[in-house]
């Protein structure tokens, strides 16, 4: 159990200290969660009050790690979208009149559309492309890869907020500090 909690702390600290990181990849997720079935069995054999506390702590900690990594990814996607051109729908020559992601008509409001850097006619609703890029880092039409911009230093300050108590408890359990 202690090894599992230390592993969660290690993953969190890796994310926290490496400000260029965003979300965990599949291998890292597997590393983090591979002991979870055995931990659940141990908790089932434990006293109910202990099991409830540890289950809540583990679930909260996993949620914190994923929320932290996804928030960074989301901010970097926003930074990428901010670098893209914002054409009104009618300005792009041969551009589609519909967003290829949601199939709704593109807006004539300048900042509601973005043009992908791969091709002049690849124009999307900004919100649609944001949601796409948070899952896939490529153009939805031609699959050209996109690179997320590096994070600026002033944007990297992290607040634990409502997760502070869980973080402090995990530090105490792992290192007795």
Domain boundaries, the chain: 2-82+152-175, 85-135
Residue with tokens 């006293």: 47
Site of tokens 């055995």: 38
Tens digit of pLDDT for each residue in 97-144? 889 999 999 887 767 889 999 988 899 999 999 999 988 899 999 999
pTM: 0.57
Across 64-86, average pLDDT: 84
Task: Decide: helix, strand or coil at residue 43.
Answer: helix
Q: Is the dihedral of CA 10, 12, 17, 23 positive or negative?
A: positive
Quick one: which of 95, 103, 94 has its CA closest to 123? 95
Q: Look at residues 94, 139, 92, 134 and name the one whose alpha carbon lies nearest to residue 113.
A: 92
Residue 67, number of CB atoms within 10 A of its CB: 11
Top-confidence residue, 21 or 90: 21
Closest by CA to 156, choosing from 61, 13, 5, 20, is 20
The tens digit of pLDDT for each residue in 1-16 reads 778 888 888 887 877 7
Q: Spell out the alpha helix ranges (H) of 45-89.
A: 48-83
Q: Which helix (H) or strand (E) holds 34?
A: none
pLDDT tens-digit profile of 21-57? 777 777 888 887 888 888 888 888 888 888 888 888 8
- Averaged over 51-74, what is the pLDDT? 82
Give the distance from CA 20 to its chain's centroid: 13
> Which of 89 and 37 is assigned the larger pLDDT?
37
């Amino acid at each position: 159990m202690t090894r599992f909690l230390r592993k969660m702390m290690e993953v969190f600290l890796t994310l926290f200290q490496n400000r260029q990181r965003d979300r965990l990849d599949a291998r890292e997720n597997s590393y983090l969660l591979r002991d979870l079935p055995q931990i659940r069995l141990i908790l089932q054999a434990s006293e109910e009050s202990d099991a409830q506390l540890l289950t809540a702590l583990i679930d909260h900690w996993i949620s914190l790690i994923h929320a932290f990594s996804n928030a960074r990814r989301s901010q970097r996607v926003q930074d990428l979208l901010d670098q893209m051109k914002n054409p009104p729908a009618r300005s792009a020559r041969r551009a589609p009149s519909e967003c290829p992601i949601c199939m709704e008509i593109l807006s004539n409001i300048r900042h509601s559309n973005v043009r992908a850097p791969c091709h002049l006619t690849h124009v999307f609703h900004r919100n649609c492309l944001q949601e796409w890029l948070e899952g896939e880092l490529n153009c939805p039409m031609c699959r050209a890869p996109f690179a997320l911009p590096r994070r600026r230093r002033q944007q990297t300050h992290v607040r634990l907020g409502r997760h502070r108590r869980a973080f402090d408890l995990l530090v105490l359990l792992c290192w007795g500090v």
